[in-house]
Amino acid sequence: MSNLIGQHLGPYCILEQIGAGGMATIYKAYQPAMERDVAIKVIAAHFAQEEEFRKRFRREAKAVARLEHAHILPVYDYGEADGRPYLVMRYLEAGTLKERMAKGPLSLSEINRVVGQVGSALDYAHRMGVIHRDVKPANVLLDSEGDAYLTDFGLAKMMAGSAKLTGTGVGIGTPVYMSPEQGQAQKVDARSDVYSLGVMLYELATGRVPYEAETPLAVVLKHIQEPLPLPSSVRPEVPERVERVILRAMAKEPEDRYQAAGEMVRALDGAVRAAQAASPTEPAIETTTPMPGVVRAAPRAKARKLRLPRWVGWAAGGAVALAAFFFILSRVPLRVQISGGQLEVVRVAEGTLAPSELGLSEAEGTVTPVPQQTPVSTRATEPTEAPPVSVPPAVAELEWERIYDGAAFQRAAVSALAVDPQDANVIYAATSAPGIGNGAGVYKSSDGGASWSPANNGLERAAVSGVFVDPVDSQIVYATTFGAGPYKSSDGGAHWKPINTGLSQLTGAWGGVAPFLFDPTDHTHLYHSDPWAGVYHSTDGGENWQLVSQPDQFVISLAVDPRDGQHLFAGAYYFGEGSQRGGLYESTDGGLYWSPIALDIAGIEEAAVELLAIDPRNPDSLYVPLAYPTAPRPNVLLASSDGGESWREVSFTSFGGEIAVIGFDPADSRSVHIGAGNAVYRSDDGGSTWGIVQDFESQVNSLAFAGDAGALYVGTQGVQWTKDGGQSWQSAASDFGNAWLELIPNPAGGALYAEDSACNLYRSVDGGSTWEALRSDACGLAFDRQNGWLYRQTEGVLVRSEDGGQTWAAAGPRASQDGDQRYLYVNPRDENTLYSLNSGGWNPFIHLSTDGGQTWRPINAVSHVPHGRIVMAEDGARMYVAGAGALDISDDGGASWRACSAEFGFPGSPPAIALHPRDSDTLLLGQWGSGIFKTTDGCGSWTEISAGLDNLFINTLAFDLGNPDVVYAGTDGGAFISLDGGDSWNVINAGLGSYPIVYSIAIDPADPSQIYAVTPDGVFRLAGASPEAAAVPTSTGTPIDADVLCWLQGPAGELASRNPHTGFDAIVQGRNAAQVVVESPSGEIVV
């Protein structure tokens, strides 16, 4: 394969070589099947010879191929030919950012655009669990439009996994752009990529890299120890706020940097906008000639500490020699493991790497250690007995495996529908989890609803709440999300990008679809509102937003007059006494000033207005349903026929549920359609009388009309539609993901259960690979551990199953006829003690039975806790009940209660609650939109523990039963793992697919190594879960016979392997050394 030009590599015809490096050669090729040019990266022969490298390459290639983002160069294919792996990627005619920089300086806007696009790509990749490790201008491609595409994901990690290159966990990259921790071969996370992006921004802004030296090793040392030269010392014209962004991005310590690439992008965009506002003209930042004179260093930059043993200092004679010594030795692979009760030190290389033996490639000084020999294992003498130390899992190796596609589960609810105004056969649907509100994706049909496929490329979060088609250019589509702001597609949903510039809040919605409106006089003018911020306006198709005003402190609905884009209506939520009073407001100047609209109906002046609709066929007709319970009664619908001057109440007592959506058929000027409960209703006389159009099996969430096609589309569980006025209906549900599910493992093992928000119950007896539907007319699931029985509650009775859920029989009366008795619990120490919690309505009672469900009595907790959850300790005495802004605790099985500290008081109900399996004083609460909170003193005090979480919409929490220091969290942005009891988090999205919204995480009590998650794409199992604790020696002064000299430091001086999560360090020197050296925190050298 020395000359591939003119040959075939699989189905690809090689045309020409377009690039080469130490790791791979890049070719331009032609793919006949798709009639397109592609780029093919062929791995160098000396890497391909190693089987472990090829396996890692395949694994990483698959991970990279899952990245679907508008600014990540897509990977089309992977293959091997004659033992040589290759990647097939999109081919771009334009060059790299490095080549563009060589041609001349970029303007401030161009810098902001490129860094913003690259940062957005990194932010997405990090949420998907992928770290780049080699961010630099040479890995950024530019197309003819100037858009940036990040490439070479995962290649540095592939190199780091090769025994011919480095030891386990050693980072490889380009020294000029390396973070301090990467230069020291420590574990890296997303913040290392933020540092490298900061270096790239520094170079773009000043025309030079921050650190230069004669050797790559000296460059690495400067990154670690030297203060950062101020960009303004190099180029005085660098704006001060842009400089501050660079300084923070390049902080020596990761915790001092931006914690996410998206955070850096938003800060840079704000800095550039401020600079542009201060200077009307925007010349390019001149970067052609170095500035003479003194270069000032950043005063706040901290030198990163090198934790070296004393003997390293003795052996090295000078700073450069010391750095070179550390840099080389830290790359000699070492693994310390426990095998057969003995300590085993494994050296993955023979010989010592001297500086002259370290290979350095010419291209940008990329460090490439020379190949080494095969692993050598040496055995130490049997260690003395010591207490076990839990070894946390290697996050980088964790990956989810889908074990079930969700075919048996209820389909996701379609929360929003939009029809292409130019082509009635093109329909978009946004799905969400019923009863929860969080979204699961965007789907598109091009054949009038007969078939649907995901349209998700570039959507960084799974929680999509709404979808909107531009009324003029139907290739432009917008999506609103929970927690990530709005997104835009310019190619009919094929690719998406976030449009958050200028938005101070990204919450998006208060339960339903976030308001998003087109100005009827100019389709590029948009309105968007956020309940925590107010009303925003954009005049450039959403690329930039400006906060207009806030008519009330909690705007949850918005409408625009179809005749006048300056005439707006807004609905607000009612929180009771105070300034947040709810009601309806009007603006006639594009949202600058607002005035309240009197509804003139007794008792509802301050009701919550969650939905308002203007009839586009008759813009003076307005409809406003009022939200219960702030309204005096359910289903209050107000109508106005004079633009809001006067109102009347419309009666619709036949409606079977709260009004979710109001629609107007453009082909019929008389009709008004309403979706309420499980049905669609129609009125032809302005709401005076109503008739049912169709009754469905599940809740109606959205409506859309296809104009001249005469079609009505209804979003329920999937999409239903009629094209003949409701005479006949068609349905499409199987193409959509499954609905929200809670996984519930049997405490005794042997079965895994799942319940959705509609109370459908499912069971798997083969570890989640197959599922069967069980009884669906009851809610809640509780386990009697002593007898192996299951309990649920129907509308009238308590039912029990003694055969795992196959058959059920009445066991007693329902706990209460009031509200939704959703949650049911059995005391783990007393099978006759049952608890039922009202999760619906506003009755705060818990109901208790001490005779196996035969009789019930209320036991009211201290606080008002509707919509709550109960968790119980294994002793059956300690209980917590969490609800709306309150948490109560009992130490006697619910007989008496006390309120938790006033420090608790988070708004809303915690959707996630987890009790430490061995410490009933330690509790975690997950809030939807607020992150995770922790108490370790039985709820006396609380601490927010959201470090590392880039999505604060928490759906589920679970302690690892085998190692409670390990905690799992499921969010709208994927799965996260904590290795320190929840104090810090890392994303683990590998394998979860393009929509990793995690509904639930569960751990099998009978086998804690089995960790499950459920998403819209089905059920997943985690591979590479927590290993069992391994015993390591802690005694001092004990000779250990080994042929490797190493220095290891643990928190108490114990011997431990160099683990990427514990933070322990290891250095190896010599080939025939005779001892293992341990340095304790007090500084003693123990041999």
Name the token pair of 249: 């991005």
| One-character DSSP codes across 790-855 | EEEE-SSEEEEESSTTSS-EEEEE-S-SSS---EEEE-TT-TT-EEEE--STT--EEEEESSTTSS
Query: Residue 863 — pLDDT band, cuts 50, 70, 90?
Result: low
Over residues 762-799, the pLDDT tens digits come to 999 999 999 999 977 788 889 998 888 999 988 778 89
3-state DSSP assignment of residue 780: strand
Average predicted confidence (pLDDT) for the chain: 75
Q: Which amino acid is at 143?
A: D
Q: Which residue has the tokens 């998907």?
A: 128
Give me the pLDDT at residue 508, please.
56
- CB-based burial, 895-922: b 16+ in 10 Å, e otherwise: eebeebeeebebeebbbbbbbbbeebeb
Over residues 737-764, the pLDDT tens digits come to 787 888 999 988 779 999 987 788 999 9
* Residues marked as catalytic: 134
Give me the pLDDT at residue 764, please.
94
Does 2.130.10.10 match the CATH number of domain 441-695? yes
User: Residue 412 phi/psi, 5° resolution?
Assistant: -65, 150
Average pLDDT of the segment spanning 304-316: 33
Provide the CATH topology of domain 101-305.
Answer: Transferase(Phosphotransferase); domain 1 (1.10.510)
Give me the pLDDT at residue 435, please.
38
Q: How far apart are CA 989 and CA 273, in angstroms?
A: 34
Over residues 996-1054, the pLDDT tens digits come to 789 899 999 888 889 999 988 899 999 864 433 333 333 333 333 332 223 333 333 33
Q: How far apart are CA 999 and CA 438, in angstroms?
A: 9
Q: Which amino acid is at 275?
A: A
Provide the CATH topology of domain 869-988.
Answer: Methylamine Dehydrogenase; Chain H (2.130.10)
Q: Where are the beta strands (DSSP E) in 210-349?
A: 334-339, 342-347
Other CB atoms within a 10 A radius of the CB of residue 962 amount to 17
**Nearest residue to 486 (alpha-carbon basis) of 499, 503, 475, 476:** 499
Q: What is the DSSP letter of 191?
A: H
Is 1-91's fold the same as 869-988's? no
Over residues 177-231, the pLDDT tens digits come to 999 998 887 888 899 999 999 999 999 999 999 999 888 888 988 999 899 999 9
Whether the Cβ atoms of residue 411 and residue 737 lie closer than 8 Å to each other: yes
Provide the CATH topology of domain 1-91.
Answer: Phosphorylase Kinase; domain 1 (3.30.200)
Other CB atoms within a 10 A radius of the CB of residue 498 amount to 27
Other CB atoms within a 10 A radius of the CB of residue 1072 amount to 8
| One-character DSSP codes across 136-186 | SGGGEEE-TT--EEE--TTHHHHHHT-TTT--TT-----GGG--HHHHTT-
Q: How far apart are CA 236 and CA 891, in angstroms?
A: 65
Largest Cα span, the chain: 95
Q: Spell out the domain ranges in the chain.
A: 1-91, 101-305, 338-391+1030-1087, 441-695, 776-860, 869-988
Question: Comparing 389 with 56, which gets the higher pLDDT?
Answer: 56
User: Residue 577 phi/psi, 5° resolution?
Assistant: -65, 150
Give me the pLDDT at residue 1003, please.
92
Q: Is the pTM of this model over 0.75?
A: no
- CB-based burial, 1002-1015: b 16+ in 10 Å, e otherwise: bbbeeebebbbbbb
Name the token pair of 97: 């950012």
Over residues 379-395, the pLDDT tens digits come to 333 333 333 333 344 57
Q: Which amino acid is at 653?
A: T
**Nearest residue to 736 (alpha-carbon basis) of 448, 416, 1016:** 1016
Give me the pLDDT at residue 333, please.
37
C-alpha angle 952/953/958, rounded to 5°? 90
Name the token pair of 801: 């199953």
Q: How far apart are CA 724 and CA 66, in angstroms?
A: 42
